Amino acid sequence: MRQERDYAQQLQREGKWIHLWRIVGEYSNYSVFDVDSNDELHAILSNLPLFTYMEVHVTPLAVHPSDIHQSAST
């Protein structure tokens, strides 16, 4: 558990794991990652110490064109 927490916090500091929400009443979460590729996300998730015990569902997201926080270059 400690290794899992340390790894998750490292990824948050690096800007890869940008949101982490706990689902109330469950031992699960919703997370948002900012990665450059599917391969990078796969590497991050599969390196989680508890990965073999997880059920993972991935939904790709993109910035909405009306988002006022998106950069001018996107």
pTM score of the predicted model: 0.81
Q: How far apart are the first and last CA of the chain?
A: 38
Q: CA geometry: angle at 28 spanning 41 and 1, to 5°?
A: 80
44, 51, 55, 48: which is closest to 15 by C-alpha? 44
**Where do the structural domains in the chain lie, given as residue ranges?**
2-53
Q: Identify the three-state secondary structure at position 69.
A: coil
- Give per-residue pLDDT as tens, 14-66: 999 999 999 999 999 999 999 999 999 999 999 999 999 999 999 998 888 88
Q: Which CATH class is domain 2-53?
A: alpha beta
State both tokens at 55.
């059920």
